[in-house]
Amino acid sequence: MPYLSPNALASLVESAVAAQSTLFGRAAHAQIIKTLGSLLPSFLSIHLINMYSKLDLLSSAHLVLSLNPERSVVTWTALISGSVQNGHFASALLQFSAMRRESIQPNDFTFPCAFKATGSLFSPLTGKQIHALALKAGQMGDVFVGCSAFDMYCKTGLREDARKLFNEMPEPNVATWNAYISNSVLYGRPYDAIGAYIRFRHAGLEPNSITFCAFLNACSDASDLRLGRQLHGFVIRNGSDADVSVANGLIDFYGKCKEFKSAELVFYRIVQPNDVSWGSMITAYEQNDVEEKACITFLHALREGVRPTDFMVSSVLSACAGLAGLELGRSVHAIAVKACVEGNVYVGSALVDMYGKCGSIEDSELAFDEMPRRNLISWNAMVGGYAHQGHADMALSLLEEMTQGANGIVPNYVTLVCVLSACSRAGAVEEGMQTFESMKGRYGIEPGAEHYACIVDLLGRAGMVDRAYEFIRKMPIPPTVSVWGALLGACRVYGKPELGKIAAEKLFQLDPQDSGNHVLLSNMFAASGRWEEATIVRKEMKEVGIKKGPGCSWIAVKNVVHVFQAKETSHERNLEIQAMLLKLKREMKAAGYIPDTNFALYDLEEEEKETEVWYHSEKLALAFGLISIPPGVPIRITKNLRVCGDCHSAIKFISGIVGREIIVRDNNRFHRFRDNQCSCRDYW
């Protein structure tokens, strides 16, 4: 091999860093020793320390440093910088101290690394000490050192110190203003961020892509669509809309502001969308409940050769959860495994959530158990999965497990909502009340509107409707739509029309345009035989222009979703569906099934009522599933409303007659029918 000059050897080392290749880097080091011996020129030592630090081989970097007799601020800073870059913040500060013990003064590159390490470790005392050193060394006049110190104070929660430091800067640069705006957003002060941006512009500085994205985040957090649109106009005028990172920020902003159509316009104008662009668009669809488009966009990204990222995969899994698309979710899971992102905590949490919301609690438990590490979102997803199934015992057990031990996780507001929901759906009144009453004392969580709604639902489902009403009257906060809705639902089930009227009147005041409340009141009157009052409610709906959304059920067969409404006859296989229904009806009556005509919502003759309830959408979807899905495969149906009592009873009979597992997800929970039984134990 020809002789390589020291400069050529240094280029080899830099190539290893660029390629992120440990093997290449060690080979380059070996070649250096072979060529020059063990005593290396100082500049080559710096290159090697930098390489090992950047490749996260800190032991090797430290060894090279220790073998270098001419250690300088540059060699130490290379080691400290690599440690910070790879998240070894405590090691970086120890190295900073070791450098100081050798009487080597930090420079304008060392201080920003040290400030970043203290900010990441949330160590304000250490940060103040380093600030004092920087002042003593005369480095605080450097704009990058000052910006790093300011960022450290923001991240460690010392807002007043951060403000003083910012005001002391003679001429803050764009990076400093960006840090100010970004940290204001990060710590929940969007209006401070907006004000800072206005002062930044008054100072005559030109924003960059980071400034634009931070400002858009502030607008979305403040739900200020108008201001964000103004910035979009400015971005177009100065030509920054061609910057893909700015376009990605706009997609994210419009998605969070429920303007996914505007997000689409931005996305389709990007010449070369990157993986963040695709992920942002998928998330925008998912946030706006357009799950089908989220899944289609994900598949489009794959066809374009985009490598799935953890962000993209977790978003599309959330979309699958919203659709209850189990098979599609399984496919995305396989893609996540292939892309090696399934170990990511957010992807793992999304898998737990998706399987739970798709009714496959066993797969949800498996995904949860296989997670290499879990965060609060992971635990909440698993507790939520049990809540959907009505497994109060498992939800309560998991709550205990997550809080135990030295590494126990403190539950949050959402955790307790999930646990109380599970108790409500299982009829665990005593356990639910105990959990509610211990929230503040045991977990430090002040009960909110959702927790109160869960308790009203818990009592109402258990038939304690009057107690639920008394509970509402004693609430320390104003009852919300969810609270009165839970009471109205209980009045419908347990035949309490007078109390139901009170709940309905409160709902009409809070949300006059919601058709569901009017329909529920009408149905309650119909169920108790008060047909005249039921008719009046429906007439009032028409007079004020409130339209009832159609009840429907859907089922996926061979990647095609088939949607059914009550008394549907337009399906291409309608004759086969009707034949299957007729066959099932005969076999069910022979097995002792009696239609519950209380769920016929119009004043009809008894025979007409039987026909009315027999052609509900979930029965039509089930009949189609039986003629389309091979024997032995579970039939999965989703309904946008609560499954009615007659359909629930009928599907129990059908599960035994056909020997199939039938899973129905309504707008409240899952029902798993098997061998004439339902997982809800007739409590829903």
Residues 134-150 have pLDDT tens digits of 999 988 888 889 889 99
Q: Calculate the average pLDDT of the chain.
A: 87
pLDDT at 256 over 70: yes
pLDDT tens digits along 521-554:
666 666 556 656 666 656 666 655 555 557 789 8
Q: Are 198 and 190 in contact (CB under 8 A)?
A: no
- Return the pLDDT at 549: 59
Residue with tokens 């899994």: 317
pLDDT at 609 over 50: no
- Return the pLDDT at 39: 67
pLDDT at 57 over 90: no
Arithmetic mean of pLDDT, 576-596: 86
Percent of the chain with pLDDT over 70: 90
pTM equals 0.78
Burial 155-183, CB ≥16 within 10 A → b, else e: bbebeebbeebbeebeebebbbbbbbbbb
- Return the pLDDT at 597: 55
Position with higher pLDDT, 454 vs 607? 454
- Tell me which residue of 580, 677, 598 sits closest to 644, measured CA to CA: 598
Arithmetic mean of pLDDT, 506-515: 74
Arithmetic mean of pLDDT, 462-474: 94
d(CA 29, CA 416): 56
Arithmetic mean of pLDDT, 408-421: 93
Read off the tokens for 529: 């035989």
Cβ-based burial of 28 (10 A; exposed 0-12, middle 13-18, buried ≥19)? buried
Read off the tokens for 134: 């920087």
Q: Which residues pair with 638 in a beta bridge?
A: 554, 665
- Return the pLDDT at 606: 39
Q: Are 623 and 553 in contact (CB under 8 A)?
A: no
- Return the pLDDT at 598: 54
What count of other Cβ atoms lies within 10 Å of the Cβ of residue 353? 26
Position with higher pLDDT, 93 vs 407? 93
Arithmetic mean of pLDDT, 318-327: 89
d(CA 269, CA 241): 9
Query: What angle, rounded to 10 degrees, do the helices at 345-357 and 361-369 form?
Result: 160
pLDDT at 327 over 70: yes
As a residue count, the chain comes to 684
pLDDT tens digits along 5-32:
777 777 777 777 777 777 877 887 777 7
pLDDT at 4 over 70: no
pLDDT tens digits along 617-665:
899 999 999 999 999 889 999 988 888 888 888 899 899 999 999 999 8
pLDDT at 129 over 80: yes
Arithmetic mean of pLDDT, 566-594: 89
- Return the pLDDT at 604: 35
Q: Which residue type sits at 232?
A: H
